[in-house]
């Protein structure tokens, strides 16, 4: 135990770190603060781009929904007229036609809004500046 204490004391006595100058410390601190500000600005830009993409996707979904509601009678008539009257498909469409049509419309709306979001986001993204790329 005494031997370990002597070794520790010798180790701490031998430790003499070089202290950097105040100017070097301040320069590093300023560089780090500039880097933090740059990251903050980029995050704000990304948030703005995400909001813009969400708004475009919501508007596309809304317009598609309005058009779907307006065109629903025509779509339903067209789909029901495709099946021959005596077939099983005609019986199925008479029973579940509205559900099938609304499910198809919903699926198309989801695909459209996701695509609008993705396209808007990819068009608004700018490449990362050269100074911030990983080394």
Report residue 92 CA to chain centroid gap: 40
The mean of the pLDDT values for the chain is 82
Percent of the chain beyond pLDDT 70? 84
pLDDT digits (tens, 9 = 90+) for 47-65: 999 999 999 999 999 999 9
CB within 8 A of 135, min separation 6: which ones?
Answer: none
What residues make up the domain containing 63?
55-124
Residue 85 lies in a domain: yes
Cα gap 33→40, rounded to integer Å: 10
Cα gap 101→43, rounded to integer Å: 42
Q: Kindly write down the DSSP assignment for every residue of 114-125, as one continuous string.
A: HHHHHHHHHHH-
Predicted TM-score of the model (pTM)? 0.61
Q: What is the pLDDT of residue 5?
A: 73
Residue 74 lies in a domain: yes
Cα gap 46→122, rounded to integer Å: 11
Residue 64 lies in a domain: yes
Residue 28 lies in a domain: no
Cα gap 27→49, rounded to integer Å: 33
Q: What is the pLDDT of residue 129?
A: 60
In total, how many domains does the chain have?
Answer: 1
pLDDT digits (tens, 9 = 90+) for 65-110: 999 999 988 888 887 777 666 677 777 777 787 888 889 899 999 9
Residue 76 lies in a domain: yes
Residue 132 lies in a domain: no
CB within 8 A of 112, min separation 6: which ones?
Answer: 60, 61, 64
């Amino acid at each position: 135990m005494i031997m370990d204490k002597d070794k520790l004391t010798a180790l701490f006595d031998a430790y003499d770190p070089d202290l950097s100058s105040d100017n070097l410390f301040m320069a590093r601190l300023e560089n780090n603060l500039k880097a933090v500000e740059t990251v903050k600005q980029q995050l704000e830009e990304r948030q703005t781009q995400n909001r813009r993409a969400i708004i475009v996707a919501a508007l596309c979904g809304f317009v598609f929904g309005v058009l779907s509601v307006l065109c629903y009678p025509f779509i339903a008539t067209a789909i029901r007229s495709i099946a021959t009257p005596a077939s099983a498909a005609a019986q199925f469409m008479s029973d579940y036609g509205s559900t099938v049509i609304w499910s198809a419309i919903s699926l198309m709306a989801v695909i459209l809004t996701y695509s609008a979001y993705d396209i808007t986001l990819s068009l608004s993204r700018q490449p990362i500046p050269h100074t911030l790329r990983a080394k």
